[in-house]
Structure 1
Amino acid sequence: MKRGFEVVSKYATEEIELPVRATKNAAGYDFCAAKDFVLPSIWRRDLLKILWALRKQKEFTQSELTEAQAVLRPYLVPTGIKAYMQPDEFLMLANRSSNPLKHGLILPNGVGIVDADYYNNANNEGEIFFQLVNFGLTNKVIKKGERLGQGIFLPYLLADAEKAPLQERTGGFGSSGR
């Protein structure tokens, strides 16, 4: 097995489709939502009030700062899919070109990177999630099976002075950060 996709055990009894390429020359594999998901609009809370206060250079309380951060935070939309690949490869997650224009959805980090050692990790079995922010005026209901984004397998190179890896992966989403 060189590279590919599997359904995580949590969704084993669900009808989850493995990612596929839409055309024979497509680089990306389309990922779909594993279940219905409501992606709240950033405009659903007091974002305008927060922006107005920023414009006026008002000092914020800690609770106001927490509220401002919560309004703009991304949501993790589950795919029910995990990916296996070679140790010198990664899966790059990218937005669909129609998401921002038609649906107001963006990946706040631009792209997502799924490392080879994310597969079958103990925390979440390596399930892939798409981080999305909804800039649309209303909440977006993502239906099970609706396309979220795409994944592209890529090789990577190491620097000449690369030392031995510091640690083995011990967790799931975001666990390799420092």
Structure 2
Amino acid sequence: MRKFEKISYEQFVKDLKGHDNIKEMYDDLILPNRGTKQAAGYDFHSLFPFKLECGEKIKIPTGLKVMMEPDEVLLIVVRSSMGIKHNIRLCNQVGIIDADYYNNKDNEGHLYIVLQNEGKTTWEVSKGDKIGQGVFVKFLTCDDEPKITNERTSDY
């Protein structure tokens, strides 16, 4: 099974400390969705409006976590229009969300998107605008790797 869901309201309040209208943001949260029947990417939407000046970066909480099968990963990437039209980049180039990130003890698996403006103009985002996309991918592991017994103990 794979699905997106909201983090708890308590975790949301903790992670968005300092923001206004936290209850409204939580209630208005949009689960990632695909724009067309054959789209691979699930669009993530901004919880609040913001401006990103040239050279600046921003860590954007999504209010979401994701459940997936143990042999799957969620890749977070920028939407092509963000990179092509505005030169907006994901700070870690590609976000890799492992299945065991879901419900981790530090932050319930709260997904963040960290963007940087490498363009020459200010990038303005309205509440609800698309700020990235996630693609589910199956992955393989080496047949001869030693048995791994470590469990995830934190968010990063």
Question: TM over 0.5: same fold?
Answer: yes
State the distance in 2 between where 1:113 and 1:19 align: 16
Deviations, residues 73-122 of structure 1 (Å, cap 9, x unaligned): x4321211111001111101111010022222111332110000111112
Unaligned runs of 5+ in 2: 13-21
1:7 equivalenced with 2:6 (yes/no): yes
State the distance in 2 between where 1:38 and 1:122 align: 32
Superposition TM-score, scaled by structure 2 size: 0.81
Superposition TM-score, scaled by structure 1 size: 0.72
Of the three residues 20, 25, 30, the one matched with 2:38 is 25
State the distance in 1 between where 2:51 and 2:105 align: 27
Aligned CA distance change for structure 1 residues 171 and 139 (closer, same or farther; 3 Å): farther
1:101 equivalenced with 2:100 (yes/no): no
1:118 equivalenced with 2:101 (yes/no): yes
State the distance in 1 between where 2:94 and 2:36 align: 22
After superposition, the CA RMSD in angstroms is: 1.9
Displacement, 1:156? 0.8
**4+ residue runs of structure 1 moved beyond 4 angstroms?**
none
Number of positions where the alignment pairs a residue of Structure 1 with one of Structure 2? 142
The structure carrying a bigger strand percent of its residues is 2
State the distance in 2 between where 1:93 and 1:120 align: 18
Q: Give 3-state SS (helix, strand or coil) of 1:22's partner.
A: coil
Show the 5 A alignment for 1:59-78: 74-78=57-61
Aligned CA distance change for structure 1 residues 40 and 165 (closer, same or farther; 3 Å): farther
Show the 5 A alignment for 1:27-176: 27-42=40-55, 74-172=57-155, 175=156
Unaligned runs of 5+ in 1: 43-70
